Every structure is written in C-alpha cells, then in structure tokens.
Amino acid sequence: MYRPVPDLTITNSKRMTTPKVDLEIFDTKRTFEDLGLKDTLVKSVKELGYVHPTIIQSKLIPLALSKVDVLGQSRTGSGKTAAFGLPTLHLLEEGDAFGALILVPTRELAIQVAKEIEVLGKFTNLKAVPIYGGQKITTQITKLEKRPQIIVGTPGRVMDLHQRGHLPYDQIRIAILDEVDRMLDIGFRDDIRKILGNMRQKHQTMFVSATISDEIHRMAKKYMHNPKQLDVTPDSGSLTVSQVSQEYISVQPWDKQRMLYYLLKHEEAVLTLIFCRMKVTVDALTRFLRKKDIDAEAIHGDLQQGKRNQVMQKLREGKLSVLIASDLASRGIDVENITHVINYDVPEDPELYVHRIGRTARAGRGGIAWMLVTPEQGQLLTQIETLTNVEIPLKEYPDFKPGPEPTEVTKRRSADEKRVEEARKDKSRTKLNVPSEQEGKDEQSFPGGIVPKGLPSNRMGGRIRTRRR
C-alpha cells in the first residue's frame, strides 16, 4: 500500500544512494475505493495514510471478493498480507466464528499477520488470534473459546488445537497459506496436506508466495478448485524489489567479522538486519558486536518466546539498531524502517536470498542489501543472480585492511599442497614403463617381438571384473 514517505537518503564520503518510493509495485491508477471493499475497511486504510494499492492488492482483492480460489505470486515487500487480509475482513461477519484460517511458517509471522489484520479491521467487530508453538497452549485455548473469526497459526499448533477439539475445520470458509514456499522448505508439507485434506466443506483457498515452485502448483491442483493464478513479477523478471540496492563484498572467511564491523561503523545504517545460516553464528556475532559497543540483539529458534517477543517489540519501537537473525526466525520481521540487510552468510538456497533482502524496501521505501562472499562461494552468487535475474555488482572498500591469514589456515593449505604434490609424484611413478622398439625385439620380454605402443585405452581402475554377481 502506497503512502507518502520521507525520502531516505543514505550517504557517506564515497557514495550517495537515494532510494525513492518504488512506484513499480503500486497501481497508481486505482484507489481502495475502486476495489469494492466495505466502507469500514476503506476508512481504516485511509486512516493509516494509504492512497493507492500495490499491484498484487489491486489484482488479488477483486478476485478474492468474487470468492474464487487464487494462487498469487508477488515479490517480498509488495503488500501480500493486506492483499489477502482485506478481502478476508470483507467477506466475514461477526457471527462467523473460525471463519478464516491463515497458515504461516513461523511464530513471528503469525504475530505480525494477526496484528496487521487487526489494524486493517479496526472499524469492524472481527478478531484475529495468532496461535503458535512456544506459548502455553492453555492461553491459546482460552482465546479460541471466545470464538474469534480469524485464526493465524503455524501448522503444528493448528493441528494440535484441532485434535484437542478447540479449532473446528468444518467452520472454515476461507483458507489462506502465506509464504507457501517457505512452509514447504522447512518441512510443513505433510501438515499442510492433512489440514487442507480434512476441510471437507466448501471453502475458498488462497496461496500467496514470493516464488511458485512445481510442488506448489501440484498442491494447488489437488486442494484448489479452478484457481486463478496471479503473477505480478515485473516484466524484468526480477524477484527482488527494484528499490533494493544490491551489492556483494569479496572477503576472506577470517575477515568476515572485521568487515561487518567496518560496514556498521562506516555506513550510515539506521536499522540493520543481519542474516546468518546457523544459530551458533547468530549468537557468536551478537557477542562480538556487543564487545565492540554496538547495540545488537539476536533472534533464532532456540530463543525463548518471551525473549523473542521482547526483541521484536524493541525493533518495532525503534530502540534497536542491529538485529542478527537466522532465516527461520526472520519470518515475521515486517518493519518498514529497516534500511540495510546484510547477508553475513551467503544462503545455499537462492530463494532464501529473495526473502532475506525483502525485509528492507517495505511499503515502497528504498533499502540496501549487502552480501559477504568468500572466494569459494562464487557459484552460490551466480545461482542467486540467475534466480533473481539481477546482476549484483561488487562493492569495494579500499580503506579496509584485511587481517593476516590465520596460522591454522596456512598450515592446512600447506598440508593440502603437500598432499597434491605427493599424489602427483605417485602418479608419475606408477606410469607404465613402455620399452623401446629395440628392447622389444627380445622375445623373452615380449613374445613375438610385439612392442606395446602405449597404455591401454580403458583403465580398469584397479578393479578386477568377475562373473560374480
């Protein structure tokens, strides 16, 4: 949803980047009044300061209001939550208890989506309740006993509450799967199949995702009825928002912490989100930055839910400058003022990169994404560029002084070089010694005086073939 925002200008002595409002994702020819929404919803949208819908909202909302099944693809940060949240609020009435179920991959996203729907439905009597693991199930049962209209939950907790008899599937009129690709990636496919497969009643189904795989298409074919497919990816084919300035930095593995500290000290980053592959790296990096007097917090799956909620609240209130996250925990980090995303670890799955950098450049704002790439990760960088259809340029810092190569790295490299050299020598010693033609005339050495001209064309690799099976 578009609203006027202040120009975000990020400068330093070497460079000036001026991200502007990304009009590429907005349908500036339409307003929310044009989409057929109830007056109460239009009123809440206007109160939030929004003027024009994004393209995914402009296309998905009318389809959803017509009660057809929808498979929607749009880039991260393009307003997908409101795209399915507004028509859900429009179609439900106060008496429609458990009328809508929204499945999401993570706890944070459940909280975020429920919160956003509550804000959008401010002038309605509809309630959205998040349910997820890590919170006392008795607390969530109490909330469900009040018969809310909209349930936003992670698959595991949804199944648990259903089996306990507190979440009836037969009352669900609208089933929505948010970030379907991520739910499949982290192992929820069986849970999703069980949930959708147990909804025997007629209902509307919507899938929304940044990427649509063949598996998602197969699932849509099985659990949807003649779905309308939306793909609002720009003509460029890029899966990333154009307002994200993307660059990579070449760095040795042992210099990654020093380079990160250099970036945070030399760039005017207002709020930085740093991604790591492993939880142990998240914790180690947080300790490192704190020792450097940088206000940093960690968020990952092993963090207690209460602590995760505290960190997220601190983030939303603007009391945090650096957040270090694992990929799973990052879902639900939907904060408009994130200016920088740093990929401390290059994701092995290129689609993760799309989701990571989508945490910045929200609501049409600009953002910057950096990726620390070590020499052996060139192939991963290429895979990301291929998927996103974007050539990511190299960013150089001549003032950055690399640290010395660690002793253990030097020793390991020397040992590797020694092994390679020994292998080369062994190979040369094992070469077949082919005699000269004169030597071959000795029939005792070569009967008939036949001298081999070289090595056999096909080696047996030291294996003896037998008839044994």
Residue 439 has pLDDT above 90, yes or no: no
Backbone angles phi, psi at 378, to 5 degrees: -60, -40
Same domain? For 166 and 128 the reply is: yes
Beta bridge partners of 246: 369
CA torsion angle 65 67 68 72 (round to 10): 50
* 127 inside domain: yes
Average pLDDT (248-266) is 93
Domain that holds residue 265: 244-388
Which of 176-180, 303-307, 437-441 ranks highest by mean pLDDT? 176-180
- 1 or 223: whose pLDDT is higher? 223
Residue 431 has pLDDT above 70, yes or no: no
The mean of the pLDDT values for the chain is 82
Same domain? For 37 and 142 the reply is: yes
| Helix orientation angle between 80-91 and 39-47, rounded to the nearest 10 degrees | 150
Average pLDDT (69-75) is 89
Same domain? For 227 and 364 the reply is: no
Among the candidates 231, 258, 275, a domain finishes at: 231
Average pLDDT (313-328) is 85
Closest CA to 102 of 78, 135, 126: 126
* 363 inside domain: yes
**Rg for the chain, CA atoms, rounded:** 29
Same domain? For 255 and 382 the reply is: yes
CA torsion angle 38 39 45 51 (round to 10): 100
Query: Which pLDDT score, from 0 to 100, does residue 14 have?
Result: 33
Same domain? For 226 and 270 the reply is: no
Closest CA to 388 of 355, 366, 339: 355
Residue 235 has pLDDT above 60, yes or no: no
Of the pLDDT bands very low, low, confident and very high (cuts 50, 70, 90), residue 151 is: very high
The CATH number of the domain where 57 resides is what?
3.40.50.300
Among the candidates 388, 403, 422, a domain finishes at: 388
Tally of domains in the chain: 2
Of the pLDDT bands very low, low, confident and very high (cuts 50, 70, 90), residue 181 is: confident
Same domain? For 279 and 355 the reply is: yes
Same domain? For 255 and 318 the reply is: yes
* 405 inside domain: no
* 394 inside domain: no
pTM of the entire predicted model: 0.63
Average pLDDT (8-25) is 38
Same domain? For 216 and 284 the reply is: no
